[in-house]
A and B are shown apart, each in its own frame.
Chain A
Amino acid sequence: MKKFLKTLIPFDIAKGLSITGTYFAKVFLTANRAKVKQHVVSEYPEVPAPLEPRFRGRVQLILDEAGDPKCVCCNACAKACPTGVITIEGGKKEGRKTRIPTRWDYEMERCVFCGFCVEACSFDAIKLNSQFELAAYDREDFSLGLTGAHNVLEPSPVGKFSYSDEA
């Protein structure tokens, strides 16, 4: 008999509805809507995603005061990289004691953004920047070097790669 009553009166469903209903009430039935409304869903890409300072994005070289890369071509990062996407060749430059990279290739399509390269560098010459909107149509766009519009010295051009492209 008790079981029958339990089946007849949907207590369980009422309980579930009361939980979802609380959220409903919080948002719609309170006088001060704007205050109570909680943003659970972020409005990306209209609102940029907040990133933590340690976020691991794309590889980028750090420059010294003269605007040259700090990198001394010791190849430590290339050896530490688990996917082997860094290729470096060093050369000389007038008035600089250390070597300077003449080639610094970075194949982004195989990078796993692990940060091992940054940890391996003892010259503080490389970082993972905060860019994550890196999708592109062409495979060539993932091969970064020292030259070209898309290179390892500065962030990837906004517009070609990011959603903030208005055009």
Chain B
Amino acid sequence: MFKHQEMEINMGPQHPSTHGVMRLKLKLDGEVVTECRPMIGYLHRGVEKICENKSFAQGQIWSDRLDYCSAVANNLGWAEACEKLMGITVPRKAQYVRTLLAEFNRLASHLIWLATHALDIGAMTVFLYAFREREDILDINEAYCGSRLTTTAFRIGGIPQELPEGFEQKVRTFLAKFPSCIEEYEGLLNENRIWKKRTIGVGLLSAEDAIALGVTGPVLRGAGVAYDIRKAFPYAAYSEMQFDIPTKPEADTYARYLVRMEEMRQSVRIIQQCMDGLPEGPIMAKIPKLLKSEVNEVYHATEAPKGEIGYYLVGEKGGAAPYRFHVRAPGFMNLQSLPKMVEGSLIADVIASIGTLDVVLGEIDR
């Protein structure tokens, strides 16, 4: 009498919890997902090709627009990749300021993740609290470079301007209050039975699978692999900083949540050290006005909030623009693990799995 058949549905591209314009093609057997295929490309702007037609200095504004929630971290990667290509050494003070702002950006990005992830799962209060603190970080961004989201914060060879007056005061006020805010979020979520039911054992991704799929960042560390580029291949001023890499072996959504919360604490530690040990000196290296590359090929990876963001640049002799440019976006690689996470689980868990991957379509589609 009843026919048993699989149903194919589209989730997205305009779905409130796909965090942008991502479409998931789901095959459902009742409530159970049997197949999941992420369809991407709605936000493709051809960033790589555009950058090949712009000068090295100009390219930075497109790095802002890759992962717009963590623009500073992308700026840092772009600036460092170009410096590596041309063999420029950056003054120590600039390194410190870069580290400081990149860590603030990690906090901002993780706060967005926490807010939206919690909202998807149904915890409204955390959303409001997290955005309240993020506002302070955006104010700090604005005080430093004049822009809140698309920062264009650095220049090849250093930073464009000194820290503004009253900056230290702002940072210190924030640092004094932020640890208690993290405790607040954890107080709301850590023991909450709904949160635990929706996250523990959901979106499992073993360490082997994660490594095989090229997953990086908190998702990899949530599977128990202590890989962090800040420690493995230190850049900026990270070699002088004391911090730990949090890992959790459970490899589920709850573990990734705990890892990210601990990462925020570590970021606060790094910012504190940057502020205390801020050296004096120049902020810009001596560089020619028009930057020219040599015949060279570089890949530079940095630890963005979402994982390893790598810039691959090929330079030609005397070229003012990269001959070839490629972005290894963490979100793109991480998204590949979504089918592994959700196939065989309930459709409601798809929402939690998308949230835990912290996808931003700007960098996935590029």
Which residues of chain A have a CB within 8 Å of any CB of chain B?
Answer: 7, 10-13, 15-16, 18-20, 40, 51-56, 80-83, 112-116, 119, 128
Contact = CB atoms under 8 A, between A and B. Distances in A.
Interface string B211-227: 00000000000000000
A3 B139 CA distance: 45
A60 to B, nearest CB: 14
A54 B58 contact: no
A12 B194 CA distance: 10
Contact of A82 (B58, B142, B192): B58
21 contacts: A10-B193, A11-B191, A12-B191, A12-B192, A16-B188, A19-B184, A19-B188, A20-B125, A40-B132, A40-B135, A51-B142, A54-B142, A54-B143, A54-B161, A54-B164, A82-B58, A82-B61, A114-B61, A114-B150, A116-B57, A128-B146
A128 B142 CA distance: 14
Interface in B118-155: 125, 132, 135, 139, 142-147, 150, 152
Contacts of A83: 61
A80 B155 CA distance: 13
B292 to A, nearest CB: 15
Range for the number of chain B residues in contact with chain A: 20 to 34
A120 to B, nearest CB: 9
Most chain A CB within a 10 A radius of its CB, from B132, B146, B150, B188: B146
Contacts of A81: 58
B37 interface: no
A133 to B, nearest CB: 15
A16 B193 CA distance: 11
Contacts of A19: 184, 187-188
Contact of A80 (B58, B150, B188): B58
B249 interface: no
Interface in B21-42: none
B45 interface: no
A125 B191 CA distance: 58
B286 interface: no
A56 B193 CA distance: 45
A141 B263 CA distance: 46
A56 B61 contact: no
Contact of B144 (A20, A54, A114, A115): A54
B152 A115 contact: yes
Contact of A15 (B146, B152, B164, B191): B191
Contacts of A113: 147, 150
Interface in B53-70: 54, 57-59, 61-62
B164 A53 contact: yes
List the 6 closest A-B pairs by CB distance, nearest first. A82-B58, A54-B146, A56-B146, A12-B191, A52-B143, A52-B142
Contact of A13 (B54, B152, B193): B193
B146 A16 contact: no
B160 interface: yes
Contacts of A82: 54, 58-59, 61-62
B147 A15 contact: no
Given A54-B164, A82-B61, A114-B152, A16 B192 contact: yes
Contacts of B61: 82-83, 112, 114, 116
A77 B61 CA distance: 16
Nearest to B155: A119
B192 A13 contact: yes
Contacts of A54: 142-146, 161, 164
Given A82-B54, A82-B61, A112-B61, A12 B164 contact: no
Contacts of A114: 61, 150, 152
A8 B108 CA distance: 37
Given A11-B191, A52-B143, 19 more contacts: A12-B193, A16-B125, A18-B187, A19-B184, A51-B142, A52-B142, A52-B146, A54-B144, A54-B145, A55-B142, A80-B57, A82-B58, A82-B61, A82-B62, A112-B150, A113-B150, A114-B61, A115-B152, A116-B152
Nearest to A57: B146
B60 to A, nearest CB: 8
Interface in B227-283: none
B145 A15 contact: no
Contacts of B135: 40
Contacts of B58: 80-82, 116
Given A54-B146, A114-B61, A119 B125 contact: no
A130 to B, nearest CB: 9
Contacts of A53: 164
